[in-house]
Amino acid sequence: MRCTRMPSLIQVEHLVKRYSGRRVPGSREVMSALNDVSFSLAPGRTLALVGESGSGKSTLALCLAGLERPTSGRIWFGGRDIVALDEKELRTVRPQIQLVFQDPVSSLNPRFTALEILREPLIVQRSGGRRETSESALAMLESVGLSREMASRGVGEFSGGQRQRLAIARALSLAPKLVILDEALSALDCSVQAQIANLLLELQSSFALTYLFITHDLAMAAHLGDEIAVMDRGRVVEQGVPEKILHTPEQEATRRLVAAIPGSNVTPRLPRAL
């Protein structure tokens, strides 16, 4: 293991994920979704992962969450290489790494009530009886800014922003150490984005969470991230503090992303003028 200044929560070393072309039977076409990706993430910090569509951001998220098997490389988490674990051992790791997806409509079961959604992970992990799981589900509902009275509502009765709060509450119900936010703000309106961004910051400080924040939105990445990592064609091509990435980008891929920030073609960028 490499030496780092700060003890890292998760450390990724030379991660490779290849998909073989299954579309044409017998084809030997191989697609490298991840190509030698390495980074480490210290506890309590946020790494924002940016890149164009198809640059490998979501594949990386799936590998870290133990939902995809990497082709090679190591992922050190809690002193263990989770790539080497078998399915049974992996099941003890997964609760500690949770995902929040982009679309709260398709990631929540429409036939469940809010309470059922929040209890399900606890039931699956067999943590407590009926009363216990209900009580911790209700507490979780409150910590994401929803009220206990909403527990019996169906998913359809919540607004988009409230659904994303519910998805975050579900991710937090197993007290994870790392939360992977895969485009978790992208489908929301600007005013709701700001509310959820604030919620994420609050939760990070009260539960000492570590975030991997995957996004298209470089402005939000700069706002929420302690560091930004830029991915391009399966590689992390540049990593650094947001100010540096935005103002002195070194790689072509980074420059392209910075140039495409909506509103960056207008000076000064509008909200500043207020």
Partner 1 sequence: MSILEVRNLSVRYFSHTGVASSAIMDVSFDVRPGEILGMLGESGSGKSTLAASLLRLLPANGKIQQGSILFEGRDVLQAELRELEIIRGKRIALINQEPSAALHPTMRIGDQVGEVLAAHEYLGKRARRERIQQALSAVFPAETERISFSYPHQLSGGQRQRVLIAQAIACGPSLVVADEPTASLDPTTQREVLSVFQGLRQKFGLAIILITHNPLLLAGLADRVLILYAGRVAEIGPTESVLSTPMHPYTRALLRCLPPLPCSADEVNRKTMLPVISGDAPNSALLPQGCRFEPRCPDRFEACGKREPAAVSPNNGHTVCCFKFGG
Minimum CB distance to partner 1, residue 204 (Å): 8
Interface residues with partner 1 (CB under 8 A)? 46, 52-53, 159-161, 189-195, 197-198, 201, 216-220, 222-226, 242-244, 246-248, 256-257, 259-266, 268-274
Q: How many CA atoms lie within 13 A of 104 on its CB side?
A: 26
Q: Which is nearer to partner 1, 26 or 268 (CB)?
A: 268
Distance of closest approach, residue 197 Cβ to partner 1, in angstroms: 6
Q: How far is the CB of 64 from partner 1 (least distance, A)?
A: 21
CB-nearer residue toward partner 1: 176 or 249: 249
Distance in Å from the first CA to the final CA of the chain: 49
| Nearer CB in complex with partner 1: 93/261 | 261
State the minimum distance, in angstroms, from the CB of residue 13 to partner 1: 27
Please name the residue that has the structure tokens 């992977």.
180
For β-strands 178-182 and 97-100, DSSP reports them as: parallel
**What is the H or E stretch that residue 146 is in?**
none
- Exposed, middle or buried: residue 216 (CB in 10 Å: 0-12, 13-18, 19+)? middle
Element (H, E) at 121: helix 114-124
R_g over Cα of the chain? 19
Q: In what order do the strands lie in the sheet with 178-182?
A: 97-100, 178-182, 210-215, 46-50, 227-232, 235-240
- CB nearer to partner 1: pick between 114 and 220: 220
Nearer to partner 1, 129 or 263 (CB): 263
Q: Minimum CB separation from partner 1 for residue 182, in Å?
A: 14
